[in-house]
């Protein structure tokens, strides 16, 4: 059974701080890794994808992947109140089947 683990939070950070979200996965065969953001009552929105070990930066977001440790993380720099949402980690290892973590709720206070 493939599993993706995330701390449910909430993770509370002040505006302007760096938010660090973490995720571990059980299947060593996982090939692709994604971070989705989901606002309450809305559908998940893709914010980052990463396919190889190392860091990938996109604006205020940085995804980090360590396949040896089966660990994925998302850093959000200069956090804004509008970043308050649930962040879902997802992995896939075949076809287009995403296995999701339960998500981490992020609260950014002004």
Partner 1 sequence: KAGVTQTPRYLIKTRGQQVTLSCSPISGHRSVSWYQQTPGQGLQFLFEYFSETQRNKGNFPGRFSGRQFSNSRSEMNVSTLELGDSALYLCASSPYNDYEQYFGPGTRLTVT
Residues in contact with partner 1 by CB under 8 A are: 31-32, 34, 36, 42-46, 49, 88, 90, 92-103
Nearer to partner 1, 81 or 94 (CB): 94
Nearer to partner 1, 13 or 91 (CB): 91
Q: Please provide the DSSP assignment of 22-68 as one string.
A: EEEES-TT--EEEEEEE-TTS--EEEEEE-SSEEEEETTEEEEEETT
CB of 67 to partner 1, least distance (A): 14
CB of 21 to partner 1, least distance (A): 16
- Give the whole-angstrom CA distance, residue 63 versus residue 69: 15
Residues 50, 53, 58, CA angle at the centre, nearest 5°? 40
Q: What are phi and psi of 83, to 5 degrees?
A: -80, -10
CB of 98 to partner 1, least distance (A): 6
Nearer to partner 1, 37 or 79 (CB): 37
Nearer to partner 1, 25 or 36 (CB): 36
């Amino acid at each position: 059974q493939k599993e993706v683990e995330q701390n449910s939070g909430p993770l509370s950070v002040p505006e302007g701080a760096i938010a660090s979200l973490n995720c571990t996965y059980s299947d060593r065969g996982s090939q692709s890794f994604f971070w989705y953001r989901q606002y309450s009552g809305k559908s998940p929105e893709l914010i980052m994808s990463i396919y190889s070990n190392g860091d990938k930066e996109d604006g205020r977001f940085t995804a980090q992947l360590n396949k040896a440790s089966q660990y994925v993380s998302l850093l959000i720099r200069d956090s804004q109140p509008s970043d308050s949402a649930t962040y879902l980690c997802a992995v896939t290892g075949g076809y287009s089947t995403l296995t999701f973590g339960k998500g981490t709720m992020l609260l950014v206070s002004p």
